[in-house]
Structure 1
Amino acid sequence: MKANENNFIKRLQSNKEDALDYIVDSYLPLIKGVIAKVLLRTNHESLIDECVNDVFLSIWNHAGQFRGNNAQDFQKWICQIAKFKAIDYYRKAVRQPEITSDDLEHPSSNNVEDEMIRLENRSELLNFIKELDPTSQKIFVMRYFLGYNLNEIAEQLHMTTSSIRNRLYRGKKKLKKQSKHFEVGGMSYEGNL
């Protein structure tokens, strides 16, 4: 017996490899789309493929945890897995930017110094964001790290754009107050981030 749309869930939960083949054939574009939406901003195409493989491995390893009844429930479940894996990969990529051979071949002390300051500022900003309430943290990350616009954030968080705008304003005001004096790269800065 081969996996099809009627039996692939049960066969997957029984560790039948043909079920995984069916899932890859049927759901690859969906999973890749979910992952790409998060990871395209990293500019690492190979990271998307690596994450896709990791998602299918997770589906295989955790098939017994699926509690849905039909293909629609399964689709929602795998989309959640893909989304959270992509977010994990994004966080790793942001924390540890990939150094390419081009970066090593043309080192410029100003470019290296500027990049270090940019990374330290980003790290400092992340520390400030951690002090915000969870909803405001999500809004800041979606807006300034993932590049979402106000309408996309409002839709994702089921809020109005004006409340998103207000939270951004209040958060920036709080961050500005906290950043009156901070150090980056051993140098003290007064004023704005």
Structure 2
Amino acid sequence: MPHTIAPVEPMVEGSTFTVKDSAVAENLHSDARRGRQGDRICYPEPEFKPRIFQGCRVAKGRNYRIAELEDSTAALKARIVELERSEKRLKKQLQQKREELKDDRSELGGIRLEVVDALERVDEQKKQIANLRKQIDRFRSWWLNEYHFVKVLLDIVPNPKDVEVIANSSHSRYKVYCAEGSS
């Protein structure tokens, strides 16, 4: 004897359909699973995954495509999040490099000033060395002249007492020469 099946209502939250008569539903499900179709109408349990269109029935192939698209969408969203994180990290690194570059530039400016000061001191020291060499050359030439002059005088002077007078006058000329060089 054929069974009558109550109208099928979709469940909003689950993935199966309910039948109002529980005994008929039990037979229906067990027969459908075993593959018996005799004189009853058997409806296989459709796959229904309410994701985007809740409460709507969609064919199995279309569900698969929707699930595939949702998976690829989720993967793309995850990739977007990853890229945004990477962008933030790279921006932070770029900011750090900019700060380091700014610090290096300011440090370089300080070093340049130190180099300029050092070069100025070197120039001043070179001038001082040149002045000292001039003074040494003047003293050497004076000393050589004085030495030759005293030697010639000592050869001319027969009296040794007169040599002291000549030495004293040479010494006084040396003091005058040193006073001229220092002023």
TM-score (normalised: structure 1): 0.21
| Relative contact order, higher structure (CA 8 A, sep 6+) | 1
TM-score (normalised: structure 2): 0.22
Structure with the greater alpha carbon radius of gyration: 2
